Structure 1
Amino acid sequence: MLHVRLLTLAIAPPLFIARHVRCCGNDDPLQMTRKATMLASLQRNPRSSTMAHGSSGVRFKAKNDIRNTALRRWISLAVCAGALAMSGCRLMQMDAQVAPSDQQFMLTAASVGTAEVDLGKLAAERGGSADVRAFGQHMVEQHTRINAELTALADEKKVRLLKAMDPANRTLYDELSHMSGAAFDRQYVIAQVHIHTMGNALYQSEAQNGEDPGVKAFAARGVPIGVNHLQHATDLLRTLPSTSAE
């Protein structure tokens, strides 16, 4: 079973936790983990039956694809949230010219952006459908541009970005790299719906609540792009046949 549920671990908790749990303080690590796990559980909304951020009108089948992994996804989130929070704290850079929560957003966005480019290249090569291959190439082009803009902003704000996929997306990449055809297409597009649903929430949170004007503006510019990507992925998912792996 493809570990699509792991995707949210790198996207949803870090910014939320950075804003609500004091990072780089003197909290006991175990206590910090408990706080982070508790806070992460508050994000769960298992009764939601619609896709957020510009995806109105999603058909029943596409909704079921997302709901089928929801329970496992949130169990994984609760278990790993504390570790992600502490990992984020270790990455905080004292010489950066932005607040820790803005740093966390930039670090998370850079990691996800790197994953989007690498996953898009994989889709462009291994996709069975011409539409999936085209979507993958579109993600490469769009996220390469966004990553370059983020890198320039990070240089200005003295934030050192890590240009590498997080472990969750690395797991996804490794599993997709052994798939092809219709099976690849469906799992890749389902993953894209997950990534962009959570990524949109990340960007919208920073656009609304970020402290640095430049970082907030970057996030605000990314919001409509993410909404468009999510709608594109959701529409594409409707056209793909189910596979025996689901």
Structure 2
Amino acid sequence: MKTRNLLCAACLIAALAAFYACSDDDNPTPPLSPKDWTIMEQASYGNIAEIEMGKVADSISATDSVKQFGQMMIADHTIAQKDLQGIANMFSVDIPQTPDSLHAAKKQQLMMMSGYTFDTAYINGQIKDHQATIALLEMAAISEQKALQDYANKYLPKVKMHLEHAQSIADNLKP
């Protein structure tokens, strides 16, 4: 019985030693700076806004290209938000899960529009929002946090493509 207790104690000590040997102290991650937190917060607001506005475009627009763009926003920004949530979880921080007040107000305005007025307001808003997101992701690309750099490098080309697509739709909208 004594041998068994000693063996259990030795195993416990070995397990604790292994746990501490594998701790993050050997490979520290820089703490999340206020700038990085702001980048994550704004990226989350942007993703959520694109998803919400995309749903509105999908339900209101009668223009196929605008509806398809809205559907693309839902799909692409849902994935981007999930990736961002993973980074937030890594740092044990909460990121927004609802649009900011400005985009919530824009959504309400868009929901009262229809036809060409809706399409142009939605697409012009998408152009502005994607320009802002590009600037935000360019800041994230030079963050000290590798996870934010990777996120920016993954999504920057896609957001630039979204901007080009929105500009092309805007150029082709007819009253």
Q: TM-score range by the shorter chain?
A: 0.7 to 0.9
Distance across 1 between alignment mates of 2:31 and 2:113: 43
Q: How does 1:76-95 map to 2 (within 5 A)?
A: none
Corresponding position of 1:233: 166
- Counterparts of 1:222 and 1:97, CA distance in 2: 23
Q: Which residue, 124, 128, 133 being the options, matches 1:190? A: 124
Contact kept in structure 2, 1:192 and 1:233, CA below 8 Å: yes
Give per-residue Cα distances to partners, 1:72-131, cap 9 Å, x unaligned.
xxxxxxxxxxxxxxxxxxxxxxxx941111111001100111000000000000012011
The CA deviation at 1:238 is 0.4
Which secondary structure state, in structure 1, belongs to the residue aligned with residue 160 of structure 2?
helix
Residue equivalent to 1:57: none
* Aligned partner letter, 2:115: G
Q: Using the TM superposition, give the Cα deviation of residue 174 of structure 1 relative to its aligned residue in structure 2, in angstroms.
A: 0.6
Question: Aligned match of 1:151 in 85, 107, 113?
Answer: 85
Secondary structure of the structure 2 residue equivalent to 1:179: coil
2:148 pairs with one of 183, 201, 215: 215
Give % identity. 27
The one-letter code matched in structure 1 to 2:47 is G
Residue of structure 2 in register with 1:120 after alignment: 54
Q: 2:72 is matched with which residue: 107, 124, 138?
A: 138
Aligned length: 146
Q: How does 1:26-175 map to 2 (within 5 A)?
A: 97-175=31-109
What is the match of residue 54 of structure 1?
Answer: none
Contact 1:207 1:216 in 2 (8 A): yes
Q: Within 2, Cα distance between the matches of 1:146 and 1:206?
A: 14
8 Å CA contact 1:128–1:184 kept in 2: the answer is no
- Give, in angstroms, the shift of residue 241 of structure 1: 2.3
Q: How does the TM-score come out when normalised to structure 1?
A: 0.58
- Tell me the amino acid that sits aligned with residue 150 of structure 2: A
Q: 1 or 2, which has the higher helix percentage?
A: 2
Task: Return the TM-score normalized by structure 2.
Answer: 0.80
RMSD value, Cα:
1.3
1:178 aligned to 2:112? yes
What is the CA-CA distance between 1:191 and the residue it aligns to? 0.4
SS of the equivalent of 2:141 reads helix
Q: Aligned partners of 1:168, 1:175: CA distance in 2, in Å? A: 11
Q: For structure 1, which runs of at least 5 residues remain unmatched after alignment?
A: 1-95
Q: Secondary structure at the match of 1:101?
A: helix
